[in-house]
Structure formats: structure tokens, C-alpha cells
Structure 1
Amino acid sequence: MAAAAPVQVDIVDFKIPTGNNKTLFVCNILPREFEAEVYDCIFKVFSKFGLLYSVRVCRNAAVAEPGYYAIVKFYSALNAGRAQNDTNKQCLFQRVPLKVQMCTKQWSTKVSRENPLPLNSIKCQELANYYLGFNGWCSRIIALQNISGAGGCEENTQELAQPEGKNIKYICIMEVKFINYGKCCRGIGVSEEVDQDTTDPLNFALKLGRAQKAATQKALSDAFQKILLIVLGNGKVSLQWSSEQDETDCFTEEELQTQLEVNDISWSQFEHEGQEEILSDLSFNTETIEGIGT
């Protein structure tokens, strides 16, 4: 009796994908009039294998044959592996075969493999919708509060550095519920804007709105950091807590409001700014590069 095939399992988190096994290098792309045409072709082909984090299209170096190469990043290593196997040495959208290989990468301090940056709120929603469905989760704001006057030495130092401006600082606490799994988690986001023109009420209102919006977006992203998606090869998805749960998930709403009122939470840990990876941080196998144009 033949042994059953091993179950394929992938863990997908709400962070910028950093693994080599999630990034494909696509070369031997023939010249076209516009890069946008190449982007559309690449996106159409590879999005069939799963949700993409990013697609980047670049012209070949001057020393190489005219044409393009692309960097395709998946959230899922399983999807990236399938895409590489099924597209390498296939013509697909042109008359000559593409060369599709896994990337190698030099990790910089901006994007660390050991400490990947969180996805922004838009990417978090896109990822949740793809794996959980549009009706598989929902969010609500528990608190959105002005904390412009809160804090200590850090805020005082900023005020001394910008005597003409007014700091507008908001904190948001948001709850995300995963309807089909009976789970919920909370996130905290802090955002600050500096109003340099204190005499313009319209400018102040715009800065106020931007601070509130950014705080809610960061809170949503922070909440998703506490969840891992366990994706099986057959497409089934389950949820698991990550290691990033904190005390806000244990408080009742009333206790959270009290914490806000007495300023008993350290805001600085929630003020991180996400950074996107830089294309120059990517490197590729020399064997792959040598295949361009052949």
C-alpha cells in the first residue's frame, strides 16, 4: 500500500515577506514599448498561483541584452514554489521561454529577516480578505483619543525643537474579530502631526484628520500582528495566536478606557513606522543572471 503524501502546511503572517522561498526572479523577458505592459503580463501569470505582495519590473542592465526582469514576491512559500515549478522555461506571454528562479538576498538593517516589518493596514486587509473572505473578519474602534498633552520628556523635547508648531497626537485602540474562528485581538496605534501654521483652522482640521486616520490604520495593522494563518495545501485555513499578544488583549473595554484616562500605557512602543524594502537589497544567483538573453 502506497504511503500517503505528506500534508503541505504554510504559515502566513501579517508582515512584509522576507524569505528567499517567497521571492521569484523572472528574467529573459523580451523588450516591449512600455514597462506597464510587462507588469500586467507578469501580474496576470503569477497571481493565478496566489496572492502577491509585490511585482517589480526593471530594465536589464546596459551590459545585458535589451529586455526586462521582474521580481515577484508572494506571501506564501507554497504558492511561490508552485509558481516557480510551473512557469520556469515556459513561454507564457511571449515567444521565448521565461527563466524563473528563487531569489537570493542580502539582508539589510532596513528589512531584517529575523525582525520583519509589519504590513500596513491596506495590505493586512487584502491578506485577510484573500484567506478569510470579506465576511470572515470585522473590526471596530474601541477608543480614539487625543493625547497631545500626554507624555513626558520626549514630547517636551519635540516642543523645544519646534517652538512655532503644535503637536497633534492621537491614540487608537481597535478590535478585530475573526467570525468563523471565535477569536478576537486588539491593536494600538499612535500617530502625530505637527501643525506649523497655528493661525489656519483649515490646516489644523486637516492635520487632525490625518493624525486620527493614521492612528486607526496603525492600530488595525498592530491587531493583525497577533494572528498567524495556517494554510494547508488543500486550501483550508486555520488561525493561531502569534507570540505578540500583549496586555491590551486581557483588559475589558472599561479597563482600557481607564488606562487611557490615567495615561498608564507607554505610547512609544506603538509609534514604529513601517518601511518598505529597497530594490538594491536584492541579489541573484550568477547562474541565473548569465541566462539572460540566451
Structure 2
Amino acid sequence: MAEVVEFRVPAGSHQTLLVWGLEPDPGLERSLFSAFSKFGPLYSVRAHRNAAVAGPGYYAIIKFYSAGDARRAQRACNGQRLFQESPLKVCVCTKQKAFQQHVLALNSNKCQELANHYLGFNGWSSRIITLQNVSGFDGENEELGETLQKRSVKYLCAVEVTLPHHGVCTRGVALGEVDIENSRDPLKFGTASRRAQKVSVGKALSCAFQKILLVVLENGRVAVEYNPTQEELTDSLTEEELKGLVQVSELSLEQFDLEEEEVLSDLSFDDELPSREVPSN
């Protein structure tokens, strides 16, 4: 049976394993990741101390992107010792709290990890179409000292993701915003600008991946489906039209403020802005 894998934070109970009977170990999460990632890519591994009434020890919540991978891991690991002396108990979660059903966009780093796993490193590419400062700063007012001490730097970015082997091309547009305490300090302003660029590029890349569905077949092969939202317009515009859209001053920026689980600490500000091209043969 084929399974659809989305570039979103796994929210289904069928993708989540509960592991208990774990012995204390400083590298427990690392050991769990090593053991369970053999069955497929993992979204997260979280180990927790047992409640006092349950006695000493730990339990863990492991989230897979694929429900099929989770089932295989459960069957193979339940009752096995793996990396400790006592056997583990592993089950697929059967209940999911209502608030967990709100699905968030996967952050850009995890989107790239998932794409590399299913499509291969050379199976996709990305490029920045445009990156515009939309902060609305007035340079003349800044020189006169009329700006507020606390401002925010905003960048709007458009990114294109291409899957050449599947004939799919999709775009994402997103807003990155970073607060700055003193916009007249060139060092702080430069750091905030760089960070806002990173955030906008990462969110735009994530937005582009949201329109891609990976269909994993029983034989392990992967098909791709293009699944844009009904109100999506960016993919049908020419590159010049898209650049023009980003530059329109009356544009409502809130529509591009993607709700995702992107974390600033995941971004390295010393690296170049993420852009990948498929190597030429």
C-alpha cells in the first residue's frame, strides 16, 4: 500500500512510538535515534524521566514521518535489548490530544533532510528568485534622529524548488522579521538584517515544499504529487511578475507570515543564504 508523506510536522498517532523501560544513560536520546533511524527518517526523539508513581527509569516519544516506518520499527524493536541490558517495550500510540492535530509547516532544515532522504541529494534544487527589504525604513529620518529606538527589520523572499526527475517546480514566498533595539547602530542593524534574510529564505523554502506530496510505494520507490492551495498564485506567475508582486508597497505582508516550527538557533548566520542547484552532468 502506498503512503503519502508531507513536508509537515508529523501529527498523527500512527506516526508516533512510545518506548518505555529505558535505563538512565547520558546519551539516551542519541542511542534511541541511532537504533530507530535505521527504519526511516525521524522527526524527533524525546526522552523523559518516569513519573514518581511509575518507578525509576525513562520513557521516550519517537516521531516518524512515515506510519509504515513506525510500524516496522515497533515490530522489530519491541522486546529487544538493543543498546541496554533489559528489553525495551515499544508500541504505536493510539491516542492523540486534540491540540496536536493542528499541523505546522516543517522548518527548512528538516524539509531538506526529508527531501534528501526520499529524493536524493541531486534529486532537487532550490534558488532564490528575489529577496527584498520591506522594512519601510526612511533613511532621511534616520539621519535626523527621528526614528524610534526599537524597530523591526523585514525581508520578503521568493524561492523556487525544482524536482527535475519528476517535472515539478514550485515556489514559496515568506516574510522574515527580526526586532532591533537601535536601528541607528550599524552593527546591530547589519546583524538583524542578516538574520531577517535568513529567516525569510528559510520560511520561503519551507513554503515551497508544502506544495509537494511524496507518495512512497511498497517497493520503496517514490512518486511526487504537486498539491498547491486553491488560492495559490505564485507558481503561475512569471519570474518578473513575481518580483513585481514582492515590490508592491501595498502588499499585505501578513499573508506571507508562514506558521511553522522554524527556530532561529537552527540557522547559522555565518553561512551563505541557502540555495542549491543540481550539478550539471
TM-score bracket relative to the smaller structure: 0.7 to 0.9
Q: How many Å separate the matches in 2 of 1:92 and 1:166?
A: 53
AA aligned opposite 1:202: L
Q: How big is the shift at 1:217? A: 0.5
Per the alignment, residue 187 of structure 2 pairs with 202
User: Are residue 141 (structure 1) and residue 128 (structure 2) matched?
Assistant: yes
Per the alignment, residue 11 of structure 1 pairs with 4
AA aligned opposite 1:195: I
- TM-score normalized with structure 2 length: 0.84
Q: Where does structure 1 lack aligned partners over 5 or more consecutive residues?
A: 1-7, 151-161, 277-294
AA aligned opposite 1:252: T
AA aligned opposite 1:125: Q
Q: How does 1:57-206 map to 2 (within 5 A)?
A: 57-109=47-99, 111=100, 113=101, 115-149=102-136, 163-206=148-191
Per the alignment, residue 46 of structure 2 pairs with 56
Per the alignment, residue 25 of structure 1 pairs with 18
Q: How many Å separate the matches in 1 of 2:258 and 2:159?
A: 17
Q: How many Å separate the matches in 1 of 2:250 and 2:236?
A: 15
Whether the 8 Å CA contact 1:225–1:244 is kept in 2: the answer is no
User: Are residue 42 (structure 1) and residue 32 (structure 2) matched?
Assistant: yes
Whether the 8 Å CA contact 1:175–1:223 is kept in 2: the answer is yes
Q: How big is the shift at 1:265? A: 4.2
Q: Secondary structure at the match of 1:63?
A: helix
For the structure 1 residues 250 and 263, does the alpha-carbon distance in structure 2 shift closer, same or farther, using more than 3 Å as the test? farther
Q: How does 1:230-269 map to 2 (within 5 A)?
A: 230-244=215-229, 246-263=232-249, 265-269=251-255
Deviations 1:80-124 (A, max 9, x none): 011111111222222322110112444354x4x2x4100000000
Q: Secondary structure at the match of 1:210?
A: helix
Q: How big is the shift at 1:259? A: 1.9
Q: How many Å separate the matches in 2 of 1:116 and 1:107?
A: 12
Q: How many Å separate the matches in 1 of 2:152 and 2:11?
A: 35
- TM-score normalized with structure 1 length: 0.81
For the structure 1 residues 83 and 63, does the alpha-carbon distance in structure 2 shift closer, same or farther, using more than 3 Å as the test? same
Q: How big is the shift at 1:163? A: 3.8
Q: Where does structure 2 lack aligned partners over 5 or more consecutive residues?
A: 138-146, 263-281
Whether the 8 Å CA contact 2:125–2:163 is kept in 1: the answer is yes
AA aligned opposite 1:26: V
Deviations 1:223-259 (A, max 9, x none): 0000000001211001001242610000000111222
Q: How many Å separate the matches in 2 of 1:85 and 1:55?
A: 18
Per the alignment, residue 285 of structure 1 pairs with none
Q: How many Å separate the matches in 1 of 2:105 and 2:66?
A: 16
Considering only aligned residues, what root-mean-square deviation do their CA atoms show, in Å? 1.9
Q: How many Å separate the matches in 2 of 1:127 and 1:221?
A: 12
Equivalent residue pairs, number: 252
Per the alignment, residue 286 of structure 1 pairs with none
Aligned sequence identity (%): 51
Whether the 8 Å CA contact 1:88–1:101 is kept in 2: the answer is yes
